[in-house]
Structure 1
Amino acid sequence: MRSQLLTFAFATLSAGHGIVTNPTSRSAGNAMKAVCGQQVTNNLQSNEYGDIQQLSQIGSSQPDFNATTCEVSLCKGLQFDDNSANVQTFTPGQVVPITVDIQAKHTGTCNVSVVDTATNTMIRNELIYFPVYASTSTELPKNNTQFDITMPDVSSQCGTAGACVVQWWWDSRESDQTYMSCVDFTM
């Protein structure tokens, strides 16, 4: 009975909350396993919707996890080498439709930005910002799950695949959880 309760508790803890489903965002594979370890990779392969705090917590108890090489604050630790077949090509001024699947709401803020993967820093300003996102006190507005971004001219920084991502970042202080997805692109 105890093992059933533990299994249920873990399944409840790992229930997902949100990801970008279009354009295709990064997913876990062997390159992630090499830098983040087996358990963190398994967790993301079984539940890509989870938060980065959970990944850090799971990883910290594993001997093959290294927080320096598995930077969960950058694309959940998901690696470009596992996703090189999904690189988008964007042009300056291109309007890009974004689709997000939210499985559970947690009031927070959200932004979508172009991020330099070498430094994990935002390039220019946010492309879109939601001061209140996925609020638990209202119905989920359609613009939280379907919206457009307009790509700035970042061709000088993002001409090489893997150098930049479009990052969706949803941070809920209500639940102390942060969700993200990264879309690899070149310009």
Structure 2
Amino acid sequence: MYTTSTLLALGALLLRTVFAHGNITSPPARQPGPAMAAACGKPAVAAVMADPTTPLEDVTGAAGVPQCKLDLCRGAMFEDNTAQVQMYSAGDVVNMQAILPIPHEGPMNVSIIDTATNKAIGEPLISFETYADESLDVLPANNTDFSVTMPQLKAGQCTQAGECTMQWFWFGTSAQQTYESCVDFVMMPSGDGAAPVAPA
């Protein structure tokens, strides 16, 4: 038998699902935490915690805050996510999974981002001109389950944890909403199982 608190919790979950839009669920993406709260404010973290798939435009109170980098990983900070750094080598095929409860047609890409400059390194690993088209009865399977191949980078590039991130970027053209999820990683020499280098 359901208790009142259980029903309230289920209702809250349903509301979050109904109003959700999309994000990356695998590999583990950056989550908000104390470092994001310090940079962007507690209301921003509360907004993302209430709806993990919310667009940048709905992150409360963070717009115009100089130290809050909403256009990098939707403001989520590496310092809050050091325990989930992935290790990849050139040529590794990485399966990525997304949830898109409310589609918004528009372009999408996954790129490696230099976090110091917030610039893409090389070409996108995958890109769609048309993604999450809400006019379709069923979305293509590759909108929510797709793979990217890690490129050969310059020597020493992306070998330090926090230096680079793999960012999923999606813009809903009609909705005018921007979505980002980031997977932190380090590049390892092929066949090297060593631990990632800690940030300086």
Q: TM-score, normalised by structure 1?
A: 0.87
Q: Output the CA distance in 2 between the equivalents of 1:20 and 1:42.
A: 19
Which one of the candidate residues 130, 135, 138 is aligned to 1:137?
Answer: 135
Which residue of 2 is the match for residue 184 of structure 1? 184
CA deviation digits over 1:132-187, x for unaligned, max 9?
00001112110000011000123522000001011000111110001010000001
* 3-state DSSP of counterpart to 1:76: helix
* 3-state DSSP of counterpart to 2:112: strand
The answer to whether the 8 A contact 1:16-1:50 is kept is: yes
The answer to whether the 8 A contact 2:47-2:58 is kept is: no
Which residue of 2 is the match for residue 83 of structure 1? 81
One-letter amino acid of the structure 1 residue matched with residue 175 of structure 2: S
Query: Which shifted more, 150-159 or 43-52?
Result: 150-159
Which residue of 1 is the match for residue 70 of structure 2? 72
* 3-state DSSP of counterpart to 2:47: helix
Q: Is 1:160 aligned to 2:131, yes or no?
A: no
Q: Output the CA distance in 1 between the equivalents of 2:25 and 2:156.
A: 27
How many residue pairs are counted as aligned between the two chains?
Answer: 170
One-letter amino acid of the structure 1 residue matched with residue 54 of structure 2: G
Q: Output the CA distance in 2 between the equivalents of 1:172 and 1:77.
A: 19
One-letter amino acid of the structure 2 residue matched with residue 158 of structure 1: C
One-letter amino acid of the structure 1 residue matched with residue 98 of structure 2: V
Which residue of 1 is the match for residue 12 of structure 2? none
Q: How does 1:118-137 map to 2 (within 5 A)?
A: 118-137=116-135
* 3-state DSSP of counterpart to 1:26: coil
Give me the identity figure in percent.
40
Give the gaps of 5 or more residues in structure 2. 1-14, 188-200
Distance 1:82 1:66, change over 3 A: farther
Which residue of 1 is the match for residue 146 of structure 2? 147
**CA apart distance, 1:53:** 1.2
**Which aligned segments of 4 or more residues in structure 1 are displaced greater than 6 angstroms?**
none
**CA apart distance, 1:66:** 5.7
Query: What is the alpha-carbon root mean square deviation over aligned residues?
Result: 1.6
Which residue of 2 is the match for residue 8 of structure 1? none
Q: Output the CA distance in 1 between the equivalents of 2:38 and 2:22.
A: 25
* 3-state DSSP of counterpart to 2:139: coil
Higher strand share: 1
Q: TM-score, normalised by structure 2?
A: 0.81
One-letter amino acid of the structure 2 residue matched with residue 42 of structure 1: A
Q: Output the CA distance in 2 between the equivalents of 1:45 and 1:118.
A: 25
Which residue of 1 is the match for residue 11 of structure 2? none
CA deviation digits over 1:13-47, x for unaligned, max 9?
x9221110000000011111110101001111121
Q: Output the CA distance in 2 between the equivalents of 1:66 and 1:36.
A: 10
* 3-state DSSP of counterpart to 1:157: coil
One-letter amino acid of the structure 1 residue matched with residue 99 of structure 2: D
Q: How does 1:3-152 map to 2 (within 5 A)?
A: 15-55=19-59, 58-59=60-61, 67-138=65-136, 139-152=138-151
**CA apart distance, 1:102:** 0.8
Q: Output the CA distance in 2 between the equivalents of 1:30 and 1:50.
A: 19
